[in-house]
Structure 1
Amino acid sequence: MKIENLADLRVLVHTARNGTLTAAAGALGITPAAASAGLKRLEAQLGARLFERSTRAMRLTPQGQTLLDYAVRAFELLEEAESQVSADRGALVGTVRVAAPSDLTRVTLLAWFDEFLDLHPGLQLSLSVGDRPLDVTRDEVDVALRYGVLSDSRLVARRLADSRPVLCASPNYLRRHPAPRTPQELVHHNCLTFHRSGRRQRVWRFARDGQWTEVRVDGDRVADDASLAREWALAGRGITLKSALDVRGDEASGALVRLLPDWDTEPYPLHALLPSGRFVPARVRALVDFLAMKFTPMSGSLGSPE
């Protein structure tokens, strides 16, 4: 075996994740000189250049990318083996690293995560919250919860809930602004938008009797965190188009009112995403199974026209 030191492989993984040797050294708790030496030693043992170096960042070579993919899987297998060996009578142990949308986390998932951790006291949760999709094949994430139609073939997706966006506003806003009767009337309203996958969602689509119509909306507020659009709507600042999962409690309490209920919107399913080909630890499978069980009673009705 040419690779003699697992610590050198960890330098490779953290350099790829953080972009520089200095950042990798910080993550590993070693000096930059030690990180550099470890990477050079690894390249010498393999007889291959693993990174293209520049003054600003380090970019993986094709050989480096290949080694990284196998190294990540190797560390995951070792971690799972250590967990199973040290586990008490098969109890789940270790850390589950989850990325999830902001509103869904605050409105629904936090209580469920508490319940899951109570069921498995040997587990820890590392939670990354936000609407910027993390790359589960590269970032330190075991499972990512993501809305929308998926196209990345590198991922294994398990559908957790069928949902659609719903148009809503607060009673306070509707007292000052008559509710729209058609999608076209949204151009006369303050529409609260947010970024999804790096793009502002300004074109809203609606359907009736199988005929789709698009409306380009605008407003005085836009955010890169979808939870802010919901907060602004609750404060009476305008109309927003949000996943039915995110606003179901607000609708039930009357804090938000659904608009254009006889118009349909595009499917907006929620998936649990795992990297294709990666070993899935038992603790991660357990969490995904738990979430699927919790979402099942909701699926099929969220966002459906009344």
Structure 2
Amino acid sequence: MLSILPSAIVDGILIGLTYGLVAAGLGLIWGVMDIVNFAHGEHMLIAMYVTLLTAAELNVDPLLLLPVNVVLMFLIGYATYFLVIKRVMDGPVLGQVLCTFGLLLAIRYGIMYAAGPTTRTIDDFVFAGSTTVFGISISFPEVLTALVSIVTVAALYVLLQKTETGKAIRATAQDKQAAQVLGIETDRVYAVAWGIGLAATGVAGTMVATFFPVQPEATPVVWTIASFAAVALGGLGGILGPVAGGVVIGLVENIGAAVLDSSYRQLYVYLVLIGALIYQREGILKWVNS
């Protein structure tokens, strides 16, 4: 059992970085607008199926679809705010929850209707395969996905910290009324925040589809719960917290599966989510900053 622990740790870090990217997008929307996007995993599913179907039908390498999915998901997020979310922004919280849950159902079962319920995988990927280092099996697609996740998170961090758009997003998140007084168009900021949050799922969905079996009902649940747990653990108000939370979730999930029972992988994530919601009020980075 202990012999497979190093592999579980490596796998946990690799998948955890991708969890962190998805969680960063969720946390951005949540932190800026105080709205929880329950359809976050389903939005990632869109990018997954664009990748799967295009690779299968047109024989296009998934890496070439990265910019396509980033732009597509940004536009979907931008439009979703103006067409749907803006209409419930000032309504009761229950209405907001039901709205994003409705998006969840529409996307999930729309994809199932269009593409079928079967599990799909990509058979031909230029970086397919694995190697063994010090007795640890390392998947090339997972390593590449983790590297792309790191680069994307770094880009998101720079965007939020160094650009005018990022400063407008942070100002709106801190105080909407003050931002409006300063001349910031908060509706546009909210739409951009949705676009950026979903663009992160575009990156993650494209890369994850290269090694993760995709099924319309089961797959988005895995990624939504993991990203919720990562945000709850890492805290709102930044990019690095959810990413750190994602790595913790990946480690808990994979070490638990290796040491305890692999059939309860999702249970370990649920337990972390519950614990984070009860005990972790400010995010794990508070220990670094204290």
TM-score, with normalisation over the residues of structure 2?
0.26
More helix by percentage: 2
Larger radius of gyration: 1
Higher RCO (C-alpha 8 Å, min separation 6) = 2
More strand by percentage: 1
